[in-house]
Amino acid sequence: MTGAKIYVAKERIDLPPLPADADTLPKNFVRRAAELGDRVAMRKKRFGIWQEYSWIEVHQHVQAMALGLASLGLTRGEKVALIGENDPEFYWAEIATWAVGGVTTAIFTDANLQELAYVVDNSDAVILFAHDQEQCDKALTIREKIPNVRKVIYWDDKGLWNYTDDWLLSIDALEALGREYAKSHAGAFEQMIVAGTGDDVALFSYTSGTTSLPKGAMIRHRNLIYGNKHATSVAPVYPTDNYVSFSPLAWITEQSLGLTSHVMLGVTVNFPESPTTVQHDIREVAPSSLLFPSRIWENLASTMQMRINDSTWLNRTLFNLFLPIAYKIEEYEDAGKAVPLHLRALKVVGDLAVFQPLRDKIGMTRMRHAYTSGSTLSPDQLRFFRAVGVSLKNLYGSTECQAHTLHYDRNIKMETVGLPCPGVEIKLGADNEVWVRSRAVFGGYYKDAEKTATALDAEGFFHTGDAGFFDEDGHLIYLDRVSDMIELANGEKFSPQYIEGRLKFSPYIQDVMTVGGFDMHYVTAIVNINFENVARWAEKNRLAFTTFVDLSQKQEVYDLIKREVERVNKTLPEAARVRKFVILHKAFDADENELTRTRKLRRRTLEQKYGEMLDAMYGNRDRVTVSAEVKYRDGRTGVVETAVRVCTV
């Protein structure tokens, strides 16, 4: 593949080498704190009130924590794991660890005991930061499985007042240790930071593990810095910008565009009070930039559509009148054509009457850069957000390289994931696999030389495992994982993820897995309904139901979902159209190993678990009986048998 065409950014943006005094995140953090001083660095909403931290205050916390870690014996190169919600303390702990020369590993908050034990043990962590009582209890339960951990440090002490185990330490006590350590180690904080280099490993970012056990990608300081520059050179951010940190820090994109933007560019970071208050908190902040995984945008699109459906007759009429006009304007702009005067006038009226109030409801009145990443967001959903005035763009990347491509302003194609970022080179390998080379490419997988050698070639290209192709304008069209591209018995190929993205644009579909294979002549689907939206639809249509299971198997609900499938089928090639589907009696669940913690489908697991349903769809049966475990409020469990219908489209 040495002769394959290499695609690069069309805009010439210079990304010079990093100076020695700014080649690590702690070095840049110290510079930002000195420059911005009393300005607000972070806000955290607690008990309904936004609490502010200046750059000086954040610097004081980080310094005390770093020296506290040093007093506990943390040395350069040792590993620190963190598990908890996005909070100022999470940022402080990471920066403090890096200041000492340590390596961090962020873990998904909802990780179960087995997942937590695996990552902590595999990463060789010697310190574990645990958010609260729940996470401390997890650590205590698996204590024998993580023998290298010397201390568990928590920052929310609610419920922990009676815990006496000296393995646990509060973050306040850690800072006290640091202040005491400083008295006999003058200048230690600054000396540790100066000793760091851009080639030092900053963090292990574990892959989602869709096909095997998660692997710890070793991300250097310079990788994070350049990964951030690749994106922000196209979509600039400023110290006056507000950013909402909600996506998990175990996700590399949040580390790259959230924490790194804060340290490198001085962006003010806002932390919501809890996952349940995110939407309300975003509305109060009205951020200028936002990064959500595609699943959150899908849920938000469904919520907006259902709010319109539940609104007054006048609002529904106005929305249905102006939305097609907004779509038409998008078509003109995407084609680079001048928008006719009458459409521009109608756009102003529609924005005032419908779209601006709708954006206000979701906190996006000042949004400049809204990005979706993770799994693919369908063009329908991108088009919808852009039509209502949210300039949502695709950002395609990976754990190992951060951002590969993104949508540039005034150069957007909905069906693509954009153009290569400045500083990124891309070429296509065998089976149209996307290969990426840049200064953000990771340093290999921790303790896995064999898989590192497979992923990185001699020319420095990372083999992503994703399939795609470039159009005539140099935009990358993402298809699916190479391993997930499916060939049917008739020789036709299709992309499950592409079909799933189109189906999930429906407000009534929460999740879907499409299935096919070399011995199958057509495509089938297992559908999860969006219970909240379908329940609201059922109530409006006077359809009685009792439980999720009962609602999911109603004939009227099957008819509803069938119409959605037929709508999507019209946009698909003949071979890729869904011919049969079932509505699952439950939602896909990460705790049952059906989804990764980034909410990606574990296809092999699902195909094995629901094999009987697949057999029914390909065996011309009209229903299949499944057993579902139910848990009662008193703690008892039982098994309920449910007949799941097979619907032919």
Mean pLDDT, the chain, whole residue set? 89
Answer yes or no: is 47 within a domain. Answer: yes
Q: What confidence score (pLDDT) does residue 187 get?
A: 93
266-280, 601-615, 626-640: least confidently modelled range: 626-640
CA atoms within 13 A on the CB side of 513: 23
Cα 196 to its chain centre, rounded Å, is 29
Residues 434 and 512 placed together within one structural domain of the fold: no
Q: What confidence score (pLDDT) does residue 635 get?
A: 60
The answer, yes or no, to whether residue 209 has pLDDT greater than 60, is: yes
Among 168, 187, 218, identify where a domain stops. 218
Residues 171 and 319 placed together within one structural domain of the fold: no
Answer yes or no: is 80 within a domain. Answer: yes
Among 454, 479, 504, identify where a domain stops. 479
Task: Domain count for the chain, please give it.
Answer: 3
The whole domain housing 345 covers: 294-365+367-479
23-59 pLDDT per residue, tens: 999 999 999 999 999 999 999 999 999 999 999 999 9
Residues 357 and 411 placed together within one structural domain of the fold: yes
Encoding tokens for residue 213?
């056990």
Residues 525 and 465 placed together within one structural domain of the fold: no
C-beta atoms surrounding 644 within 10 Å: 21
Answer yes or no: is 495 within a domain. Answer: yes
The answer, yes or no, to whether residue 603 has pLDDT greater than 60, is: yes
Express as a percent the part of the chain with pLDDT over 90: 53
Q: How confident is the model at residue 391 (pLDDT cuts 50, 70, 90)?
A: confident
Residues 469 and 493 placed together within one structural domain of the fold: no
Answer yes or no: is 190 within a domain. Answer: yes
CB 641 within 8 A of CB 630: no
224-248 pLDDT per residue, tens: 999 999 999 988 999 999 999 988 9
Q: What confidence score (pLDDT) does residue 564 get?
A: 92
The strand pair at 578-583 and 523-529 is best described as parallel
Q: How confident is the model at residue 16 (pLDDT cuts 50, 70, 90)?
A: confident
CATH code of 198's domain: 3.40.50.12780
How far lies 38's CA from each of 34, 56, 59, 551, in Å?
9, 6, 11, 55
Residues 446 and 545 placed together within one structural domain of the fold: no
Taking CA 403 as the corner, what is the angle to CA 400 and CA 405, rounded to the nearest 5 degrees?
125
Residue identified by tokens 């499985």 is: 145
Tell me what the mean pLDDT of segment 386-404 comes to.
90
432-436, 510-514, 634-638: least confidently modelled range: 634-638
Cα 497 to its chain centre, rounded Å, is 16
Q: How confident is the model at residue 638 (pLDDT cuts 50, 70, 90)?
A: low
CB 629 within 8 A of CB 637: yes
Residues 489 and 510 placed together within one structural domain of the fold: yes
Answer yes or no: is 255 within a domain. Answer: no
Q: How confident is the model at residue 598 (pLDDT cuts 50, 70, 90)?
A: low
Express as a percent the part of the chain with pLDDT over 70: 96
Residues 338 and 429 placed together within one structural domain of the fold: yes
248-290 pLDDT per residue, tens: 999 998 999 999 999 999 999 999 998 888 888 998 999 998 8
Q: What is the DSSP string of 135-200?
A: HHHHHHHTGGG-TT--EEEES--TT-TT---TTEEEHHHHHHHHHHHHHHSTTHHHHHHHT--TTS
Task: Indicate the pTM of the whole model.
Answer: 0.82
Residues 201 and 85 placed together within one structural domain of the fold: yes
Answer yes or no: is 40 within a domain. Answer: yes
Residues 466 and 384 placed together within one structural domain of the fold: yes
320-363 pLDDT per residue, tens: 899 999 989 888 887 778 889 998 899 899 999 889 988 888 88
Report the DSSP beta bridge partners of residue 480: 467
The answer, yes or no, to whether residue 521 has pLDDT greater than 90, is: no
Tell me what the mean pLDDT of segment 174-195 comes to.
96
Answer yes or no: is 563 within a domain. Answer: yes
In angstroms, the CA 237 to CA 119 distance is 33
Residues 202 and 134 placed together within one structural domain of the fold: yes
Among 446, 479, 512, identify where a domain stops. 479
The strand pair at 578-583 and 647-648 is best described as antiparallel
CATH code of 501's domain: 3.30.300.30
Residues 448 and 500 placed together within one structural domain of the fold: no
Answer yes or no: is 274 within a domain. Answer: no
